[in-house]
């Protein structure tokens, strides 16, 4: 189970491979090639956020939030425990930047992460309604489940956006 609700309306900080579920604000910072994924149920105003580092777990079970192939089923299970139905969920994602362009496209982990998340969401019939991925700039993301699932994106180049 994810950590408890943060005290006094504070924003829950989510590190690499971590996730949270609830109606409180959640934030993950320093997304380079990593993906910040949110799943949100508008009818219950409950959401989940995870900081995914790699596309495949290759059988590792130590930190399921770290890998796209284990994080998404984990979030679905946790949201189900909060009364969410998968057919009510929508997804948003940010991150997936190409941080090491000089290594060539085969090592573009950001692109591979984004592709894997898209494929898994499609497999689970969860619409990806907005995304801010790719490019060469890192991002920090704040998720507000109690405010209609709004996702604020702050890019390392100083620009901002709302998903």
CATH number of 70's domain: 3.30.1330.200
Give the burial class of 82: count Cβ atoms within 10 A of its Cβ; 0-12 exposed, 13-18 middle, 19 or more buried: middle
Alpha-helical segments (H) within the chain = 68-81, 109-123
Is 84 annotated as catalytic? no
Task: List Cβ neighbours of 99 (8 Å cut-off, separation of 6 or more).
Answer: 32, 33, 110, 136, 138
pLDDT band, very low/low/confident/very high, at 85 (cuts 50, 70, 90):
very high
Tell me whether residue 101 is in a domain: yes
List pLDDT tens digits, range 21-79.
999 999 999 999 999 999 999 999 999 999 999 999 998 888 999 999 999 999 999 99
Please tell me what DSSP assigns to residue 100.
Answer: -
Sorted by sequence, the CB contacts under 8 Å of residue 108 that are 6+ apart come out as: 33, 98
Q: Which domain holds residue 64?
A: 11-162
Among 14, 21, 26, 34, which one carries the catalytic annotation? 34
pLDDT in tens, 93-116: 999 998 765 555 566 899 999 999
In a domain, 155, yes or no: yes
């Amino acid at each position: 189970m994810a950590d408890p609700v943060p005290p006094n309306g504070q924003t829950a900080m989510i590190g690499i491979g971590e996730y949270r579920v609830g109606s409180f604000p959640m934030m993950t910072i320093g997304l380079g090639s990593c993906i910040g994924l949110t799943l949100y149920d508008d009818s219950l105003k409950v959401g989940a956020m995870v900081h995914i580092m790699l596309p495949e777990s290759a059988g590792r079970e130590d930190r399921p939030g770290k890998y796209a192939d284990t994080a998404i089923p984990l979030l679905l299970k946790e949201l189900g425990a909060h009364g969410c139905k998968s057919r009510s969920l929508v997804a948003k994602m940010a991150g997936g930047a190409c941080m090491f362009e000089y290594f060539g496209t085969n090592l573009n982990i950001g692109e591979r992460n984004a592709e894997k998340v898209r494929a898994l969401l499609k497999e689970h019939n969860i619409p990806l309604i907005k995304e801010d991925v790719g490019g060469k700039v890192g991002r920090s993301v704040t998720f507000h489940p109690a405010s209609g699932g709004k996702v604020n994106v702050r890019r390392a180049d100083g620009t901002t956006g709302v998903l």
